[in-house]
A = this chain, B = another copy of it.
């Protein structure tokens, strides 16, 4: 019997109770002849009081931080109460204690504000996980897991495990592969998602499927990507898009309620992909704040008439001119506007410069291009931008794609400066009507924007079937009819992050075959890769659709963090390494020989 209670449990109503606790030594404070120890476990901290005799014993065999001990004693009222912790009213008058295990001095302090850098904390992740800050994240993750399962269970979803050793069908991202010893020369692949299996389950009649499941992508890792990540993966039959949007905004609201005690009563806003790009320059706009884009000139066409007779070459030569009005910033100093100019010139943003108009609170206007625009012209400029006195209007001009991305980034940057991106405010958004195809410059071909199983909008099916996917003039790919085809696809966006995405699927063999052809796949290739799915579609496939949520990201945002790594118990670094266990690593010749492969290092 190591303990009768936990370190987070004892209160005034336990006074005089004999108790046994076990845990880690958080701090040791000697006061004259007595000693106070804060004992920590998963549930909290309890103060221990060691009398003179035990303190003497300590002098002979000293305890250290992170030693594991078990103590017996009586619950007693503290003279000096600590209102900051739930057990702060009591302490344990220790009658005996025993060291269960010693601890070396940890390489960083086990505290909320640790002195450990990222690298050392990852190497000693088992110690980092002891810190309250990290523990909270892991507990939040479990709460989200539990809330999602509860909601889906109530909605008649069934958790069905799909296999991890599947077939390599690289489409977009690279597969991790697993050599098969029993089938030499052949490989399994680890799933990038259970996509085809969940569709097969729909063909099987399990009309509401879910799984919280690991997925794998062998991609060059950006700062906040992991080679293995977790999805809440769902699929439903006999549904249209509306059914799915309602079901899953219900799930997220239910998670908000269970995990954060937030009543998200509002209807979740919806926005077409085109509107999102037009107004926010981005397919996952953060709508906690407004700051919409003014589209002054787009792809060579002036929308703001005031540009028609301008003599400002920068504007006249630009393909696209976009602006945002930033409230309360008309009094920015030269230093501040220079800062913004430097910011947009950084390579990550890559703009040549930034023009601006200060719409002063007295109604006057002052721009960085006064030479070319008189007061009236500036006034109508500001009106087009829906600016108000007190606003600073920031204007970017350049090539359409880069300028739109830049204004979107600038919008987020200004919102950060203004404190508009509050970690504890949550705004959901559905972005719908995505393009079905995306232009792949390298291959000069169309690739699936979501994946090849996504259904085109019914009215666009004819456009897809009736036109040759071949792009004759790479420069003018936007004129190809495929660029206009919309998909029955939707993303859920939370605070400017895509937390989930899905689509209504193709469920007819003929249409699926045409989709594969549109993506430049030969009949042989599509049969080799997806023959099982095409085959299944011949035996009564129901209409179906689904969605997958990025579980790590969802947890991070709910936890008020930008980094998913903090919400994964044992994450990998940017090189895909687990530095704690030192994986990946070499394997021995015998293993390679059994697998009938050898290294072929360049």
Interface set of A (CB-CB < 8 Å, partner B): 1-3, 22-24, 40-42, 66-68, 70, 100-104, 106, 124-127, 129-130, 135, 138-139, 141-142, 145-146, 149, 153, 158-168, 170, 174-190, 196-197, 200-201, 203-208, 214, 216, 218, 220-221, 227-228, 230, 238-240, 507-508, 531-532, 536-543, 568-570, 572, 575-578, 580-587, 591-602
Contacts and interface: CB of A to CB of B under 8 A. Distances in A.
A142 B160 contact: yes
A540 B24 contact: yes
A68 B541 contact: yes
B581 A126 contact: no
A540 B66 CA distance: 6
Given A583-B166, A599-B185, A600-B597, A3 B238 contact: yes
B220 A2 contact: no
8 contacts: A2-B239, A101-B542, A106-B539, A126-B539, A127-B204, A165-B176, A167-B583, A167-B585
B569 A162 contact: yes
Contact of A206 (B129, B161, B541, B576): B129
A568 B161 contact: yes
Contacts of A542: 22, 24, 68, 100-101
A191 to B, nearest CB: 11
A126 B141 CA distance: 33
B187 A587 contact: yes
What 10 A-B pairs come out closest when comparing CB atoms?
A103-B540, A129-B204, A167-B583, A2-B238, A186-B584, A66-B540, A180-B584, A598-B600, A126-B200, A188-B584
A127 B584 contact: no
Given A582-B532, A583-B167, A596 B601 contact: yes
A376 to B, nearest CB: 55
Given A129-B205, A532-B580, A569-B201, A214 B591 contact: no
Contacts of A585: 167-168, 186-187
Contact of A178 (B42, B145, B177, B593): B177
A184 B601 contact: yes
A569 B160 contact: yes
Contacts of A185: 586, 599, 601
A141 B161 CA distance: 10
A118 to B, nearest CB: 18
A139 B159 CA distance: 9
A498 B468 CA distance: 60
A183 B540 contact: no
A197 B568 CA distance: 13
B178 A178 contact: yes
Given A100-B542, A238-B2, A597-B597, A581 B177 contact: no
A508 B142 contact: no
A254 to B, nearest CB: 17
Contacts of A570: 162-163, 197, 200
Contacts of A181: 174, 218
A573 to B, nearest CB: 11
A461 to B, nearest CB: 15
Nearest to A69: B540
A153 to B, nearest CB: 7
A182 B576 contact: yes
Nearest to A597: B597
Contact of A539 (B104, B197, B602): B104
A555 to B, nearest CB: 11
A22 B220 CA distance: 45
A92 to B, nearest CB: 16
Contact of A183 (B125, B508, B577): B577
A220 B182 CA distance: 8
Contact of A532 (B177, B230, B581): B581
Contact of A586 (B186, B190, B569): B186
A600 B594 CA distance: 10
Given A161-B230, A532-B581, A540 B586 contact: no
> Most chain-B CB neighbours within 10 Å: which of A104, A126, A182?
A126
B165 A578 contact: yes
A568 B165 CA distance: 14
B591 A170 contact: yes
A305 to B, nearest CB: 46
B228 A165 contact: yes
Given A161-B230, A532-B581, 8 more contacts: A66-B540, A68-B541, A101-B540, A126-B201, A126-B204, A146-B159, A164-B216, A185-B586
Contacts of A163: 228, 570, 572, 578
Contacts of A592: 600
Contacts of A602: 184, 596
Nearest to A575: B182
A260 to B, nearest CB: 18
> Most chain-B CB neighbours within 10 Å: which of A135, A158, A531, A598?
A158
B540 A206 contact: no
Contact of A159 (B124, B145, B178, B601): B145
